Amino acid sequence: MSNSRISVCLPNYNHSRYLRQAIDALMQQSLPPHEIIVVDDASTDDSVHILEGLKREFPQLILLRNETNQGACRSTNRAIAATTGDYIFTTAADDLVLPGYFEQSVTGLQKFPVAGVCVARVKYIDDAGAEVPNTKPFYKLSAEARHKENAAKYLDPSDVIARLKRDPWFLHGGPTPLYRREVILAAGGLHEELGPYTDWFNVHYAALKHGMVYVPKPLVAFRLIAGGWGESSARSPLTAIDRLAKVLQLMRDSKFQDVFPPGFVQRKEAEFAYYAFAGSMNHSHRSLRAGIDLIVPPVSVFDQAILQLVTKLHQASKAVLLLYCRRKRNVIRWPDENRPPTYNREVVN
């Protein structure tokens, strides 16, 4: 494929146990990356030793080391600054690309050269790498289960807006976007102040600015582990709402306001309030189910039916919460220092 140099940006902090599997998955792709830039963020485990060995095995691997811990965003931005490829893929050491990810993503972007990003579906795995069935995090694409197409599809910005109106969470940040280099640079790389929501901002910027390619196949495995970056933020609604307020502020910044229509941002006020609480609710529900399985595991069909009812009640409570947040969207108490300006509530885009 012409113009298919792929740069992988991978920050690592004390994830030595995942590095071999992650690098192998990248290098075993039918279209392997041009370079894998790993930034070790002052790990205290044996990450550097493992990475040095992988570097001897794979000349495409470039190892950069932070003298002090800088965090995932700064480490990823350091990697982005060192890239030379046409496409940029930002990932985590604990996630995995599945067979065909790069080939299908690049094929889609070459078929639709106006698109700024290609997004695929996600498979969820546990710490040991086993698939987690029926996992529905609050940010999972609600339309994925209904999407029957197999071929890559281009959505122009108006299509993306229309799709987001029907399914507000169909386009999450997650681990799947493959960006054109110039698009991720124009987005400003990763925005540290947004925490884990910087991925959400970047993929929406790319899709609403240039349109997107959507591949309705699971091509990346996202590892659900306790204490992960996203989960730690989701546990605390106050932490989440503070960072989401910064997302709203950035969307309304003069640099980006032509990409994010006022009506779109207005709707996100209510949805972001829901994000903040739904993340905490999901974490509590997962902890509850894990505790039940460990302490009083279900053994009969009746037991399973009861736990299914518990899950249904959890889902119902989130639906009620979403309705409540939408009703209260005009009076949400955002952090004072980040209170977004009020738009005309009759504006709809």
**Domain CATH number, residue 145:** 3.90.550.10
One domain, residues 219 and 263 = no
C-beta of residue 265 within 8 angstroms of C-beta of residue 230 = no
Taking the C-alpha atoms of residue 258 and residue 300, their distance in angstroms, rounded to an integer, is: 56
Taking the C-alpha atoms of residue 9 and residue 178, their distance in angstroms, rounded to an integer, is: 11
238 pLDDT exceeds 90? no
Position of tokens 């976007």?
Answer: 177
27 pLDDT exceeds 50? yes
Specify if 266 maps to a domain: yes
Confidence of residue 141 (pLDDT cuts 50, 70, 90): very low
Q: What is the dihedral of CA 341, 345, 347, 349, to 10 degrees?
A: 80
Confidence of residue 37 (pLDDT cuts 50, 70, 90): very high
Specify if 59 maps to a domain: yes
Question: What's the rounded mean pLDDT across residues 326-343?
Answer: 65
Specify if 242 maps to a domain: no
Specify if 184 maps to a domain: yes
Question: What's the rounded mean pLDDT across residues 62-68?
Answer: 98
**Residue bearing the bigger pLDDT, 339 or 45:** 45
Specify if 324 maps to a domain: yes
Specify if 232 maps to a domain: no
> What does the mean pLDDT of the chain come to?
87
One domain, residues 116 and 167 = yes
Q: Phi and psi of 299, rounded to 5°?
A: -125, -15
Count up the domains in the chain and report the number.
Answer: 2
- pLDDT computed for residue 145 by the predictor: 41
Specify if 173 maps to a domain: yes
Confidence of residue 329 (pLDDT cuts 50, 70, 90): confident
Domain that includes residue 12, residue range: 6-225
- pLDDT computed for residue 68 by the predictor: 97
C-alpha to C-alpha distances, 116 to 113, 143, 319, nearest whole angstrom: 8, 21, 33
Specify if 344 maps to a domain: no
- pLDDT computed for residue 45 by the predictor: 97
- pLDDT computed for residue 143 by the predictor: 44
- pLDDT computed for residue 86 by the predictor: 97
